[in-house]
Structure 1
Amino acid sequence: MTQTQNRVLDEIARMFTNAAGAAQGVRQEVETVIRSQAERLIADLDMVPREEFEVVRDMAALAREENDALKARIEALEATVAALSAPKAKSSARAAAKPEASAED
């Protein structure tokens, strides 16, 4: 009778081992299907890879810095032009005011 019980237990152990192997295979299949579906969904959404996003972000930051530098340079040039134009405007105003003063005399 011990042999019968051992055979039954051996068969049960073998069935559990086979079931565990089958469950592992099913788990791997489910993971593969989920991964492929997620990749397809991401591809359909036209999402950019992380590397491309970081490159574009760095380019935008560099462009922003260049724009700020150019803005400061333009403001400095405008200030220089305004400073150079101010004496001419004063002399033009004086010249325009002199004939009027002469006409009143």
Structure 2
Amino acid sequence: MQADNKILDDLARVAGGALGAFSSLREEAEGQVRAQLERILSRMDVVSREEFDAVRAIATKAREEQEAMAERLAVLEAQLAALTGAKATADIADPGPAAGDTP
């Protein structure tokens, strides 16, 4: 029985070592694949996720500012129309001296 346990312990140790080696090999292969993909993508002029998110945030902010300015412009145009409409109404009611009138 003692010999069987020793053999099983040795097999477990060897299997654990093999799994560790495979794990290291897998990590190294992933690193090489990732590096190769980064080189390929850099040649293709593709942006990273971080750059994309940053530009997206800038575009969202610019859009919000543009919408706020459009609303402000509409209010100002309405105020101007009200002012010029009131002035036009006053001019119609009191046109002032005519060209042929003498003061």
Question: Per the shorter chain, which TM-score range?
Answer: 0.5 to 0.7
- The DSSP-based 3-state class of the residue aligned with 1:53 is helix
Give the Å deviation of 1:95.
3.5
Unaligned runs of 5+ in 1: 1-23
Cα distance, 1:41–1:78 mapped onto 2, change above 3 Å: same
Unaligned runs of 5+ in 2: 1-21
Q: Distance in 1 between matches of 2:28 and 2:50?
A: 29
Corresponding pairs, count: 80
Cα distance, 1:64–1:34 mapped onto 2, change above 3 Å: same
* RMSD, matched Cα: 3.3
Percentage of identical aligned residues:
39
Q: Distance in 1 between matches of 2:74 and 2:56?
A: 27
Which structure's relative contact order is higher, taking Cα pairs within 8 Å and 6+ residues apart? 2
Q: Distance in 2 between matches of 1:71 and 1:62?
A: 14
Q: Deviations over 1:18-57 (max 9, x none)?
A: xxxxxx7x98887666444422220111111101110110
Cα distance, 1:38–1:96 mapped onto 2, change above 3 Å: same
Give the Å deviation of 1:70.
0.6
Aligned equivalent of 2:86: 87
Does residue 1:56 correspond to 2:20, yes or no? no
Cα distance, 1:52–1:28 mapped onto 2, change above 3 Å: closer
TM-score by length of 2: 0.58
**Higher share of residues assigned helix:** 1
Aligned equivalent of 1:74: 73
Aligned equivalent of 2:4: none
